[in-house]
Amino acid sequence: MNIGFIGLGIMGKPMSVNLLKNNQNVFISSSNDDTNDELTNYGAKVMGDYGEVAEQAEVIILMLPDSKEVREVVIDSELYKKFNPGTTVVDMSSINPETSKEVFNTINPDGHQYIDAPVSGGEEKAIDGTLSIMAGGDEATFNKIKPLLQYMGASIVHTGPVGSGNSVKLVNQVIVANNIAALAEGITLAKELDLDLNTVYNAINGGLAGSTVMDTKFKKMSEEKFEPGFKMKLHMKDLNNAFESVDKDFSEKIPITSQMKEIMADLLEDDSVGEQDHSALFRHYTNNKDYRQ
């Protein structure tokens, strides 16, 4: 099967590598020469532009930052008019569910299918090929492309019709954000009590406090080093999508998330924080206001 992969950033590049390691035919086009060279070494075929990628592909995987980019790449540029007959778009971007429906309604009349399949797990699990994948769309199409998803993820769930994958992802992002805030407050308390943080981690990680968030974010917070595995500005984007998907007064029903979102928005007034890992939420609890460290 020929796969076009569009969106080769922090997440997309290792995801495409896992496809290539499993002997899949992957066609790419990146403006980053280093990315092209690296993926060529794994066996990717580099094309001149996204149109050439589409012309080679039976399945097109998208891993783009937001709804705007997905709409621009597929609809505004009329890339879908270059699709081969019966092309399936597997959109693994985390976007507004309404945008997923818009893309589906644009390409489906021409006989193309669309699966919205956002992921959770960050760069670490993208590299390991153990992402959680939430996939919405036609069930027969989902079953057809599921073997490809299994090269990139360990948990793959069909969530319902188009848009439901991204709806489930919004729930995921609310829970993850609040877990990050809870972890930050726990570490803040541990520091105030003058505890050894490694000991704290080893003592509590096997109990109810243990989580994937703790496994992947504890060290970043304890060392205050926030190289991005998932950028804070992208998490804020997901939270904005969540709040935009419900009535305005719904925020009163999720007050903890509303408060956490305000904290994140305050941190993001410094643009450099948006490029850091979302665990940089811990900055809110420190006296260190130099977010660029």
Predicted model pTM: 0.90
Catalytic site residue from 169, 217, 233, 261: 169
pLDDT in tens, 45-92: 999 999 999 999 999 999 999 999 999 999 999 999 999 999 999 999
pLDDT at 289 over 60: no
pLDDT in tens, 201-216: 999 999 999 999 999 9
What CATH code would you report for 167-285?
Answer: 1.10.1040.10
SS (H, E, C) the chain: CEEEEECCCCCHHHHHHHHHHCCCEEEECCCCHHHHHHHHHHCCEECCCHHHHHHHCCEEEECCCCHHHHHHHHHHCCHHHHCCCCCEEEECCCCCHHHHHHHHHHHHHHCCEEEECCEECHHHHHHHCCEEEEEECCHHHHHHHHHHHHCCEEEEEEEECCCHHHHHHHHHHHHHHHHHHHHHHHHHHHHHCCCCHHHHHHHHCCCCCCCHHHHHHHHHHHHCCCCCCCEHHHHHHHHHHHHHCCCHHHHHHCHHHHHHHHHHHHHCCCHHHHCCEHHHHHHHHCCCCCCCC
**2-161: what CATH class?**
alpha beta
- Per-residue confidence band for 248, with pLDDT thresholds at 50, 70 and 90: confident
Q: Give domain limits for the chain.
A: 2-161, 167-285
pLDDT at 293 over 70: no
**248 counts as catalytic:** no
